[in-house]
Structure 1
Amino acid sequence: MGSCVAFTSVITQNSDIVHENENRIAVEIEKTTANVIVLFISTKFTYGFAHLFSLHKIPPKLWITSSFIPSILTFKQEKMETTLNGSLSLMIQEGEIPGFEQFFYTFSPNNYPNDALIVSTWQNLLKCYFIDNPSSIRKIPGKPDLRTCTGNETMSEADVSVYGNHHYRVTYRVYTAVYALAHALHNLNSVQPPANHWDSKVKPWQLNQFVRNVTFTTFPNDTHSFNKYGDPPARFDIIKWLFSPGHHIVTRKIGGFNVSDHKAQFYINHSADLWGPLFNMIPQSLCNAPCAPGHRKSKREGAPSCCYDCVPCVDGEMSNTSDSPNCFRCPGYEMSNEQRTACVPKMINYLSYEETLGASLASIALVLFLTTSAVQGVFVKYWETPIVRANNQNLSCLLLISLMLCFLCTLLFIGRPTQICCLLRQVTFGIVFTISVSSVLAKTLTVIIAFNATKPGSKLKKYVGTQLAIVLVIICSLGTIGISTVWMASNPPFLEADMFSEMDTIILKCNEGSVTFFFCIIGYMGTLALLSFIAAFLAKDFPDRFNEAKNITFSMLGFCSVWGAFVPAYLSSKGSRMVAVEIFAILSSSAGLLACIFAPKCYIIFLRPELNTRVAAARNY
């Protein structure tokens, strides 16, 4: 998981700076947010550490110490025991030496009268002194009078609880080291026996070679071996220290770990089940709580590397683990959920029949188609009446059919787009709509030609009839067909999934391929509509009761207004709204043509039939 150091301090024995140093260390411990402190000192600094507790009130922390702790606890300071209660120590592995317990409790310095180390240790353990060596024992404050050592005391009288039981750790290491050397010498002697006696010289490199191959077992079933470098595996116990009133110490081995070939194996001592809950209550030593999924770590300036702020992932990114260093961007077809903990598929946007806008436009298109079909049926029924025959009933029929196709072609824009729909919809709309506008232009020119043909000597009489109108419609339609052909051949429309315009939506749309060709068709239709408007405006005052020029003028004015507003609205829209804008322009302009041109005729047919006669038609306004 990694870790970092919140603070470091060095304990010194220099008398000139010890007070200042202790104050600084105490301040560091008090202000730090860390709940775990690692203490690594040797036995020569135990007094300095104990003195720190005597001067300052150290707040409770979880201390992880090295093997010096038995030495520091001999001072038996209440404040220190309170602070160190529950601390953990990493100590070399203990082991049982057969017969050592009996030797330990029957040991007497009388058997080693000239050993100063034994004398000093005996005096400190038993709190007594030998008459001939009173200065070798450390004086205990408040207890100036000490009894005299006789040498007949036993170790059972000494308080050795701080050191554990009789399975001592360093002693066991010495024991196994001696056995290793003994096995190595034995193996060496087996390979090359000495010529005379054991006092023959043994070279160190010879012994090292055999030590590396030694494997032996001590009581009880503790196997020892060495790697290729001659090093034994490092074995450590994790010891928990508990202090009760009266300076009584309880130690429990709660686990340990073995390090071999740079690999560590940790284990929990099953015999310490009673102490498991205490071990699990180790506090977290963190500057801040771990970042929850959906957040990333952000370095906090001026703080240790493990102190950081938690920053939420931005839209389109996610993190699904705690303390994630980075947020990960979702693929283009996915987005992050609200919690930013996972990527979920984006919504697909297109003008659907299921949504209100799509269903409404489709319904309007069908209603207008049926209305146009009904008007077509009325015109067929009253085909020979003056109101229908006026201004070329064949062009009127062609215009109605083209308007019906205009209403139906809007259905190509609704629903999930496909490649075929993308290829057909703009081309179909352009050609059909051009036929409609061309029919209107032809009807207007028919009115102008018919009026001028009545003048004496006019050469326009030969153009009166339906042939010119049909040729004009065909010629005008060829313009759109030519533009569409070049468009489809050079850069045709295609289906596109736009994943970047909106963060949480995939816009499924038809890319027009070339916007230039698309607006060329719109511009071409607009030009035809403008010509129709000018011609109809000039012919609006011709003396004919059934003159359509006024109606065509209004229809072209509405047509040009709709498609003039269409361009900025289309360019500023995205997704389904862009498609809806074009459908609305098609429906509204087509409905304007239907209403302005054919509504007055239907009004006369049904509500003013007296005007739909030859006599009435022959009268001028």
Structure 2
Amino acid sequence: MRERKSVAVLTGISGTTSATVGTLLELYRFPQLTFGPFDLILSDASKFPSLYQMAPKDTTLAIAIVSLLLHFSWNWVGLLISQDENGLWILPELREEMSKNRVCIAFEEVVPVRTLSEISRLMVIYYEINKSSANVSIIYGDNEFLLELMLYFEQFLITGKVCIINSSWDLTMRSRYFILGSFHVPLIFSHHFADIAGFTDFIRAVNPSKYPEDFYLARFWFLSFNCSQNESECVTWVNCPYDASLEWLPGQVFDMTMSEESYNIYNAVYAVAQALHEVLLDQTEEQTMENRIGTVPSPAQLHPFLKNIQFHNPVGAQVVLDDKRKVEAEYDIVNIWSLPEGLEFKAKIGKFSPYAPHGHQLSVSENMIEWGLRTTKTPHSVCSESCGTGFRKSLQEGKAACCFDCTPCSENEIANGTDVEQCVKCPDRQYANTEKNQCLLRAASFLAYGDPLGIALVCMALCLSTLTAVVLGVFVKNQDTPIVKANNRALSYILLISLIFCFLCSLLFIGRPNTPSCILQQTTFGVVFTVAVSTVLAKTVTVVLAFKTTFLGRRMRWLLVSGAPNFIIPICTLIQVILCALWLGISPPFIDIDAHSEHGHIIILCNKGSLMGFYCVLGYMSSLALASFTVAFLARNLPDTFNEAKFLTFSMLLFCSVWLTFLPVYHSAKGKLMVAVEVFSILASGAGLLGCIFAPKCYIILLRPERNSLRTFRDNIHIMSHKLS
């Protein structure tokens, strides 16, 4: 370092070396410019106020690396970080960015530099990498760290792994240890810079005769071009080719393209020249007439200018030496191709620019990537395979968020994307298809007249109502015969008419429900059936009174003649009407939908509103039936000729059995079957009353008319009276 000519010092790649030299240079406030990677230790202005780093800061490196992971859908990644200031800075940056983008860490090794000399520790790291299911590892460190790590690991065949590296280490030195196809997919993030015009021509023209003071160039020349068979301290050029050029050397020995370090040196020289130029301009303005002779500026004078310097180099890139004002770095993504005979080629396969719009910051040419020997497929690095449509992610206990099981969506839920965390429930009027990836519109379903079940029930209702009308016609035609008179002609007419309405009211339950039909269904059913059952009760009481008047005298005869049993019908019916009115006033039936009973259909039905009201109506009707059954059962042994108590008993037994069976079946049925069960119960109980009470009478009227005569009637009375006496 010549005192009168040197105004600044360029120091090399190693941050440790630069720090050591910087401590010495700081004693003289000598400007020091480093052309190696940006080092956080060297950025401490309190320790190194005279040091300037030419490399850009890696503030967006973590974002760039994670963007590449996301591009290839790699979410299961290992970390191998050097335990120095830079490594401890990048580690939380990577963790945060990976966490935001749901990329998980398969393993994490923070390696002290001194550990690289400990075989046992290195074996542990090697085992961790090799056993991991992660096929992608991020390796971060300075050049020395990376070189030593590669030197060790490439002696072991760690196959099938992709390495994302933060620095393009010296390819010449690396090639000595590279085993073809071992660490086979290196993807290197290097700082982007434009090609310097004329640089290749400059390198092509370099030779020791132009730079006789460069001992290292001379020795490299001497060894590379076989100038002598014997290595000696004395360099001679007798056997060197006259027109030798560095261009002759293979790429793995000497790379003619500008490296990142060369680019930083280029900018450093320009920066010093720019600062020196500004110092000289400043001195020229301040020179006095007495001191016209210019002097070489002292190194310390350059600091104010170097700190504030900002210019664009010949290729248009902005150069700033102040760490606080440095621009964010752009990155080239480099892939090393393995060529025959151990040759290699660095191929630029992508770029990351923080200045591009979001979503377009990363560009990758996948077809240019050499993934490894005998494969063209992109490596896969996930803890768990993606969950397809119709499945949701279910995290595995105690493992990272990227490790999960795929669980099918529940009933009527869908997942129309991959790796969804929660299935989405379909709306009530829609249902999930078989694949559970789409909600389809449910078809409206109800007990329609066109359904087979609806057709059957309508036919039953019409047939039974017609049959009842025929029976009524038979009774009207034969109204003056003894059997019709003996069974209380008026009550029989009321019962037959009420049964016709009972059968017809079942039609209100069939068809698309609406508010009026929902209200009429239950109230009509309750009132009409109450009339029928109360009529049966009145008939039963009439039979008992008719028998009692024969043996007990005037009071019983008065009750029978006055028609007192007939008042049972309006009284009982009025009570039922009041119950129905209360039901409609408190919580009337309404239209409801059932989206769960039948897959793919939404069932429209009538909701009872108040179940208590429905059960009160049904319970009251059942109590009337039970009362009729009890009275008829007690009168079952009365004389046969004028006694229909046995038939009434059986009809009420059948009626009660139907509705007792109805309750559990109704509650276990779903959708349209609930309606069908209720309709069938109405028809079955009505048919029971019709068959048990009127079938024997029709049999006598139509098939045994000789028994339907006054003489036979009197003979039977005489015989029965004789037996009883």
Q: TM-score range with shorter-chain normalisation?
A: 0.7 to 0.9
Residue 120 (structure 2) aligned to one of 13, 20, 23: 20
Residue 393 (structure 2) aligned to one of 297, 304, 310: 297
Residue 484 (structure 2) aligned to one of 372, 375, 388: 388
Structure 1 match to 2:201:
102
**Is the contact made by 1:530 and 1:560 (CA closer than 8 Å) also made in structure 2?**
yes
Query: In structure 1, what residue type is equivalent to 2:608?
Result: E
**Is the contact made by 1:126 and 1:157 (CA closer than 8 Å) also made in structure 2?**
no
In 2, Cα distance between equivalents of 1:351 and 1:198: 109
> Taking structure 1 as reference, are residues 69 and 304 closer, same or farther at Cα in structure 2, changes over 3 Å only?
farther
**Mapping 1:231-270, distance limit 5 Å:** 231-260=326-355, 265-268=361-364
Deviation at 1:551, TM superposition (A): 1.5
Structure 2 match to 1:565:
661
For structure 1, which segment, 485-494 or 497-506, has the greater mean C-alpha deviation from structure 2 after superposition? 497-506
Structure 2 match to 1:36:
136
Residue 58 (structure 1) aligned to one of 151, 158, 162: 158
Where 1:260 maps in the other structure, the secondary structure is coil
**Mapping 1:366-445, distance limit 5 Å:** 366-445=462-541
**Mapping 1:603-614, distance limit 5 Å:** 603-614=699-710
Where 1:5 maps in the other structure, the secondary structure is strand
**Mapping 1:46-445, distance limit 5 Å:** 46-53=146-153, 55-71=155-171, 73-77=173-177, 79=179, 81-115=180-214, 118=217, 131-132=232-233, 154-161=245-252, 164-176=255-267, 194-196=285-287, 211=310, 214=311, 216=312, 218-219=314-315, 224=318, 230-260=325-355, 265-268=361-364, 281-301=377-397, 303-345=399-441, 350-445=446-541
Deviations 1:121-177 (A, max 9, x none): 65776688984489xxxxxxxxxxx99989995323433446644343332344346
Where 2:392 maps in the other structure, the secondary structure is strand
Deviations 1:275-327 (A, max 9, x none): 69999732121233222122222333454443332222222332222122333
Where 2:182 maps in the other structure, the secondary structure is helix
In 2, Cα distance between equivalents of 1:184 and 1:367: 113
For structure 1, which segment, 181-190 or 546-555, has the greater mean C-alpha deviation from structure 2 after superposition? 181-190
> Taking structure 1 as reference, are residues 235 and 514 closer, same or farther at Cα in structure 2, changes over 3 Å only?
closer
Structure 2 match to 1:139:
none
**Is the contact made by 2:629 and 2:653 (CA closer than 8 Å) also made in structure 1?**
yes
Query: In structure 2, what residue type is equivalent to 1:288?
Result: S
Structure 2 match to 1:487:
583
> Taking structure 1 as reference, are residues 439 and 258 closer, same or farther at Cα in structure 2, changes over 3 Å only?
same
In 2, Cα distance between equivalents of 1:497 and 1:198: 99
Deviation at 1:19, TM superposition (A): 1.5
Query: In structure 2, what residue type is equivalent to 1:534?
Result: T
Matched, 1:451 2:551: no
In 1, Cα distance between equivalents of 2:494 and 2:333: 98
**Is the contact made by 1:295 and 1:313 (CA closer than 8 Å) also made in structure 2?**
yes
> Taking structure 1 as reference, are residues 545 and 6 closer, same or farther at Cα in structure 2, changes over 3 Å only?
same
In 2, Cα distance between equivalents of 1:206 and 1:16: 41
In 2, Cα distance between equivalents of 1:438 and 1:527: 10
Deviations 1:406-437 (A, max 9, x none): 11111222233322222221111111011101
Query: In structure 1, what residue type is equivalent to 2:135?
Result: N
Deviation at 1:607, TM superposition (A): 0.9
Deviations 1:191-233 (A, max 9, x none): 999444797897856665562xx5x4745xx554889963234
Structure 1 match to 2:672:
576
Q: CA RMSD in A?
A: 4.0
In 2, Cα distance between equivalents of 1:198 and 1:405: 127
> Taking structure 1 as reference, are residues 179 and 503 closer, same or farther at Cα in structure 2, changes over 3 Å only?
farther
In 2, Cα distance between equivalents of 1:23 and 1:127: 40
**Mapping 1:536-575, distance limit 5 Å:** 536-543=632-639, 545-575=641-671
Deviation at 1:464, TM superposition (A): 4.1
Percent identity of paired positions between Structure 1 and Structure 2: 36
Where 1:7 maps in the other structure, the secondary structure is strand
In 2, Cα distance between equivalents of 1:204 and 1:86: 44
Deviation at 1:349, TM superposition (A): 5.7
In 2, Cα distance between equivalents of 1:127 and 1:53: 32
**Is the contact made by 2:185 and 2:370 (CA closer than 8 Å) also made in structure 1?**
no
Deviation at 1:249, TM superposition (A): 1.7
For structure 1, which segment, 541-550 or 418-427, has the greater mean C-alpha deviation from structure 2 after superposition? 541-550
Deviation at 1:554, TM superposition (A): 1.5
Where 2:250 maps in the other structure, the secondary structure is coil
Where 2:189 maps in the other structure, the secondary structure is strand
> Taking structure 1 as reference, are residues 451 and 163 closer, same or farther at Cα in structure 2, changes over 3 Å only?
farther
For structure 1, which segment, 41-50 or 403-412, has the greater mean C-alpha deviation from structure 2 after superposition? 41-50
> Taking structure 1 as reference, are residues 574 and 60 closer, same or farther at Cα in structure 2, changes over 3 Å only?
closer
Query: In structure 2, what residue type is equivalent to 1:76?
Result: R
> Taking structure 1 as reference, are residues 203 and 348 closer, same or farther at Cα in structure 2, changes over 3 Å only?
farther
> Taking structure 1 as reference, are residues 403 and 582 closer, same or farther at Cα in structure 2, changes over 3 Å only?
same
> Taking structure 1 as reference, are residues 68 and 167 closer, same or farther at Cα in structure 2, changes over 3 Å only?
closer
Task: Give the structure-2-normalised TM-score.
Answer: 0.72
For structure 1, which segment, 430-439 or 173-182, has the greater mean C-alpha deviation from structure 2 after superposition? 173-182
In 1, Cα distance between equivalents of 2:192 and 2:254: 13
**Is the contact made by 1:34 and 1:285 (CA closer than 8 Å) also made in structure 2?**
yes
Query: In structure 2, what residue type is equivalent to 1:43?
Result: N
**Is the contact made by 1:394 and 1:466 (CA closer than 8 Å) also made in structure 2?**
no
Where 2:338 maps in the other structure, the secondary structure is strand
**Is the contact made by 1:407 and 1:586 (CA closer than 8 Å) also made in structure 2?**
yes
Query: In structure 1, what residue type is equivalent to 2:622?
Result: G
Structure 2 residue runs of 5 or longer lacking an equivalent are 1-69, 71-100, 288-293, 720-725
Structure 1 residue runs of 5 or longer lacking an equivalent are 135-145
Deviations 1:439-458 (A, max 9, x none): 11222222233333445852
Query: In structure 2, what residue type is equivalent to 1:247?
Result: G
Query: In structure 1, what residue type is equivalent to 2:157?
Result: K
- Number of residue-to-residue matches in the alignment: 602
For structure 1, which segment, 306-315 or 446-455, has the greater mean C-alpha deviation from structure 2 after superposition? 446-455
Deviation at 1:603, TM superposition (A): 0.8
Query: In structure 2, what residue type is equivalent to 1:108?
Result: N
Query: In structure 2, what residue type is equivalent to 1:516?
Result: M
Structure 2 match to 1:523:
619
In 1, Cα distance between equivalents of 2:323 and 2:176: 44
Deviation at 1:348, TM superposition (A): 5.5
Deviations 1:48-100 (A, max 9, x none): 23432464222243333333343465443452x32244532222224322222
In 1, Cα distance between equivalents of 2:159 and 2:170: 21
Where 1:287 maps in the other structure, the secondary structure is coil
Where 2:434 maps in the other structure, the secondary structure is coil
Deviations 1:351-382 (A, max 9, x none): 34444433322322221111111111222222
Task: Give the structure-1-normalised TM-score.
Answer: 0.83
